[in-house]
Structure 1
């Protein structure tokens, strides 16, 4: 084929006269353009490193300060080095080589540069101290104190006048604080008080007090050393022990998903939807490489840590017998596409530029038209990434790291990201809401062998043009992948668009090389291991009970009229719904971010509190409305207080986790820590943030409402609930549990959630107030 010929840089044959070497000029041109692209990227990264390294200073600031000192040296005839060069001259014969005037110039440059560096250091240190102040969170909703106003002004001043890049604030972010053992133990006991009866609580009090007085201070001393030395005392251990050392399947248990629009179907052509989506993702990667993405800012002023963005692309989780590792490449110029059991390597650049959407669609069409059968063992190969980690690590090392398997595996693991052209149809246009459950399950686990679950994320495009993501969790948390996905969805139908017949806009390329089919040679022993992983993945997938609810009766617009936090409102509704569902309270996990601190990830908000339980009991017992309202407001305020503590580094679960890790390193046993960390989270919740509201005009285009995303159940007999607040009038819930548990039913719990939300709203009698 012509494409294959152009893709070969060197062709040679051996004859009696020697080696006959022919050069393909087109291939050499592509090599040259590839190298040019690589050097441009290195230069951009070097420039960004310099700019981030001196932020909030800038090159114009350096010129201004140095120029001022040079002017003083030249026109005022003053030694700007304050005699430093004269002192040096007593030891070195400077005057032999440099005139007095030039000495003043050199002195001006040195002193000016030094002063500029000192100014940057002072600004950065001051900004770091300012960002360590979090009292702005504790002001009543809707009010801003004069202290907070002054603080915000100072933060803006010391953030500099230059527009920050994605990583500009990293060096100025404060370290995650280390709570005291006493505070953590007291807050823990407070959190379990509503869940334990008198005898069990007294026993736990004894264990906690013994830990606080004896082992706790010793563990804290070692943890303090780590806090002092590391940029974040939690994140590296959290990544290693919670994610990478887990030996169970990551499919369902760890990976999560993100969904398409609910009501909009931009095109029914699978290749076209893939073309626009892949192009939009690659544009985002280019902006990420150039640090042109704006850092997320709370109240447009307070920066959040951007460290997790670094491994979004070109990243794979690599299995190991004892622990996995994260492999991140600095660059990757291709993606890998899976379709009907075959793997294809697709280059994303040609002629020194990124492929346009129509050219990517052309490549996808070639893959869809390819009728070659899968090779032995190839179709279900990715099931290894869905099953237990130890068999996958053994199979990878024994069978996939030799010969052509190594090249093909490298292509997959070093790809920018993974794409599945799914051969099923999801999201029925006639019943978009009713078909969400099956669609969500497909994104979460698929067939168990048609997603490469170890990649940082998989783009899944279905036969009818619907799409979604499946993301691996160890490298980053959901808000990071959500940021990418919001950009992709906003670009797809509006900025990129489609032709009238559903194809991508632009022109295809007549001579562009086609996708390269990856070659595998998988022995029978490895195929046996693949079949075992398929069985594990299939059993896990079949057990998932997923129910998705677009709750449109009301949203945060009406909740705000109740003068209550929307998140607190939803969390209390979940407590009421769970009590109705199971007749008891349970330990509840709500994820909160700690990205106000350097390399921060998450902390736990223990949403089941004494106050929320008091409200639920009052509601169940049908107490007077005023009493229920009072208890509801008290529970909401308590929840907000807990959330603020978690966000500002004063949560308890990450501290207890790190103390437990230290105890294991020291080889000491703590009955208190063992019991704390073995408690099951039977209700695990997470709000998926809608971060870039400005990208979607839901008033003029309500069809561009997104569904959000979700995750699998955490406990065998519990629920996982993800929710996203979209606009003013919609809250999407993703509820997961296991069919194997007789105690859970996702549809039943969904009905209880809807009823609880309406019951809470009815307490405020908003209709009556508006009529009054």
Structure 2
């Protein structure tokens, strides 16, 4: 399908300006809104028209990609803030119900094998395409599958559309493996090693290289891979005195300078090359998290000593077998990582490649050709930087609060029977909770995939609308009856669904505005006044940032707040449950208070819905 994916639409400038005003109205006062109106229409009739014309010309001659691809990569790679908490999200698998396979080395081996089987299917183009089916019957239809198989690649998407099947962009998938973000001054680099045959393993801050593919690119026998991990797990390793991974928690300028010092020391170049060129990192942690909060904090950031946040994928395995992924975000979005999680889960369930065995096998198998310890040489200056980095990261992560909410009172089926969009209800509950605590609406970000288009990334849905504002005031300030609140609730659902449809079809305004601003900066001209005004900053200071990834194989998923006084909220739907992971900084907000208030808000909405007939 990839060749026939349509280009991400370039919205009309006037429509973008109207949508911008509509989005900012709920969070601005009357004076700010009047200012925003004047600025956006001046922009539309002046600088914006010229920039849009330039962007339209570029768009016309670059049909092979999207207008957002380059500026979006630049946004990530030029950012100088540290990766953990600011960019890297996490996902955690459910534990294997067969506890004998939860032994750490066995779990690591099976996950690595399944991940590399996924990689091979991707390379040999045997991986099923990523398709969104409006009609589930189409997914399993032999007629549809055969028709697509014989359809020319350059029109395959358009044939699929006739069956309400929407192929999604898969250009991010190769970046899942062998990819590292290299720190550099001003702008980082993404480096891919196509010939990689090893994974990097970190245990107690010590680094190892484990060869998992032979010279022809085939997987080593599962027993050998298992024994390699068992060898590392059973080594009497003390925590590294100077764990190098902590340097990947620094801001990118600091880390770039430190890396240059590291490379200047003999032998470190080849070791760093091996680490950067690994297929991915496997983090064998020494402690098992005691509860959901501890799990979330460990997979989001840990203590930084047993991590390498620059790697596209870190596969984290605790001693009890609990496993998950922490991923660097510049190369791609959650959809690709979730597909990896789904396929690995399915493959592990279908067949256990590695079996937990008697450790006497260790004596019979020589792993010296596959397992190699990587030992860096450090200067006094680097040792001191590592020490200080540990202290500062510890202080930062102690400020980061993370709380988990599981709400059992609302199911997807129940909401659909009431004519309510499940996503709109969750977003409305978040708006109610924030207002109850802060007594004002917040600029709110919801990530929406535009993968239906070639090289699509994401678009912003802004769930804080005039409809949600009216509902929140009616519920909290006016205390209207359930019967009076119901039509307002339905309005919220209708408005939210419209915004999601707008975003997913490439007709949102945020990425268009972002691209116009990036173009102005690249041209070196004066930045248009609309982008320099306080109202634009207010509208883009997202005190609530949200993202939804739903999977029956997912236990937890989340990310840090995107602003220091904000909340990061990851949520997922199950048939009979809603799950939330809420993060914030303790000096600005209280995650437990928000979770409690969110629970109350969901109860309120549940009561309204239960008071009416379907």
Cα distance, 1:420 vs structure 2: 1.0
CA shift in 2, pair 1:197/1:687, >3 Å: same
Give the secondary structure class of the aligned counterpart of 2:15.
helix
Mapping 1:539-618, distance limit 5 Å: 539-618=395-474
Q: Distance in 2 between matches of 1:662 and 1:323?
A: 17
Cα distance, 1:677 vs structure 2: 4.8
Give the secondary structure class of the aligned counterpart of 1:680.
coil
Q: Answer whether contact 1:550 1:707 (CA < 8 A) is retained.
A: no
Q: Which moved more, 1:580-589 or 1:292-301?
A: 292-301
Q: Which residue of 2 aligns with 1:251?
A: 84
Cα distance, 1:538 vs structure 2: 2.1
CA shift in 2, pair 1:572/1:236, >3 Å: same
CA distances 1:271-315 after superposition (whole Å, capped 9, x unpaired): 111111111111111111112211121224211111111211000
Give the secondary structure class of the aligned counterpart of 2:315.
strand
Q: Distance in 2 between matches of 1:264 and 1:401?
A: 48
Mapping 1:88-167, distance limit 5 Å: none
Q: Which residue of 2 aligns with 1:326?
A: 190
Cα distance, 1:399 vs structure 2: 2.2
| 1:510 pairs with 2:365 | yes
CA distances 1:308-354 after superposition (whole Å, capped 9, x unpaired): 11211000001001100100122310001111221111000358641
Q: Answer whether contact 1:401 1:409 (CA < 8 A) is retained.
A: no
Q: Answer whether contact 2:447 2:461 (CA < 8 A) is retained.
A: yes
Q: Answer whether contact 1:252 1:540 (CA < 8 A) is retained.
A: no
Equivalent residue for 2:267, pick from 401, 404, 412? 404
Q: Which residue of 1 aligns with 2:229?
A: 364
Q: Distance in 1 between matches of 2:602 and 2:253?
A: 44
Q: Which has the higher contact order (CA 8 A, sep 6+)?
A: 2
Cα distance, 1:520 vs structure 2: 1.4
Q: Answer whether contact 2:91 2:554 (CA < 8 A) is retained.
A: no
Q: Distance in 2 between matches of 1:306 and 1:508?
A: 44
Count residues with an aligned counterpart.
Answer: 573
Q: Which residue of 2 aligns with 1:130?
A: none
Q: Which moved more, 1:216-225 or 1:530-539?
A: 530-539
Give the secondary structure class of the aligned counterpart of 1:597.
coil
| 1:285 pairs with 2:150 | no
Q: Which residue of 1 aligns with 2:590?
A: 745
Cα distance, 1:178 vs structure 2: 1.2
Unaligned runs of 5+ in 1: 1-168, 429-434, 691-695, 697-704
Q: Which residue of 2 aligns with 1:486?
A: 342
Q: Which residue of 2 aligns with 1:672?
A: 530
Mapping 1:258-277, distance limit 5 Å: 258-261=91-94, 264=97, 266=99, 267-277=101-111
Q: Distance in 2 between matches of 1:437 and 1:226?
A: 47
Give the secondary structure class of the aligned counterpart of 1:475.
coil
Q: Distance in 2 between matches of 1:173 and 1:404?
A: 46
Cα distance, 1:625 vs structure 2: 2.1
Q: Distance in 1 between matches of 2:29 and 2:358?
A: 64
What is the CA RMSD across the aligned residues, in angstroms?
A: 2.2
Q: Which residue of 2 aligns with 1:687?
A: 548
Q: Distance in 2 between matches of 1:311 and 1:436?
A: 30
Q: Distance in 2 between matches of 1:503 and 1:647?
A: 52
Q: Answer whether contact 2:205 2:245 (CA < 8 A) is retained.
A: no
Cα distance, 1:401 vs structure 2: 5.2
TM-score between both structures, scaled by the size of structure 2: 0.89
Q: Which residue of 1 aligns with 2:50?
A: 218
CA shift in 2, pair 1:655/1:351, >3 Å: closer
| 1:390 pairs with 2:253 | yes
Mapping 1:135-534, distance limit 5 Å: 169-230=1-62, 231-241=65-75, 243-261=76-94, 264=97, 266=99, 267-299=101-133, 300=139, 301-350=165-214, 353-371=218-236, 379-400=242-263, 402-426=265-289, 428=290, 435-496=291-352, 510-512=365-367, 513-534=369-390
Q: Answer whether contact 1:279 1:355 (CA < 8 A) is retained.
A: no
Give the secondary structure class of the aligned counterpart of 1:740.
coil
CA shift in 2, pair 1:350/1:657, >3 Å: closer
Q: Distance in 2 between matches of 1:265 and 1:683?
A: 38
Q: Distance in 2 between matches of 1:573 and 1:227?
A: 39
Give the secondary structure class of the aligned counterpart of 2:404.
strand
Q: Which residue of 2 aligns with 1:627?
A: 484
Q: Larger Cα Rg: Structure 1 or Structure 2?
A: 1
Q: Answer whether contact 2:333 2:457 (CA < 8 A) is retained.
A: yes
Cα distance, 1:493 vs structure 2: 4.5
Equivalent residue for 2:558, pick from 679, 695, 710? 710
Q: Answer whether contact 1:272 1:358 (CA < 8 A) is retained.
A: no
Give the secondary structure class of the aligned counterpart of 1:253.
coil
Q: Distance in 1 between matches of 2:23 and 2:382?
A: 48
CA shift in 2, pair 1:686/1:200, >3 Å: same
CA distances 1:206-251 after superposition (whole Å, capped 9, x unpaired): 111211111111111221122223321012111112x100111011
Q: Which residue of 1 aligns with 2:514?
A: 657
Cα distance, 1:552 vs structure 2: 2.3
Cα distance, 1:498 vs structure 2: 7.2
Q: Answer whether contact 1:544 1:737 (CA < 8 A) is retained.
A: yes
Cα distance, 1:527 vs structure 2: 1.9
Q: Which moved more, 1:316-325 or 1:382-391?
A: 382-391
Cα distance, 1:514 vs structure 2: 4.4
Cα distance, 1:653 vs structure 2: 0.8
Q: Answer whether contact 2:411 2:576 (CA < 8 A) is retained.
A: yes
Unaligned runs of 5+ in 2: 134-138, 140-164
Q: Distance in 1 between matches of 2:358 and 2:94?
A: 19
Cα distance, 1:404 vs structure 2: 1.3
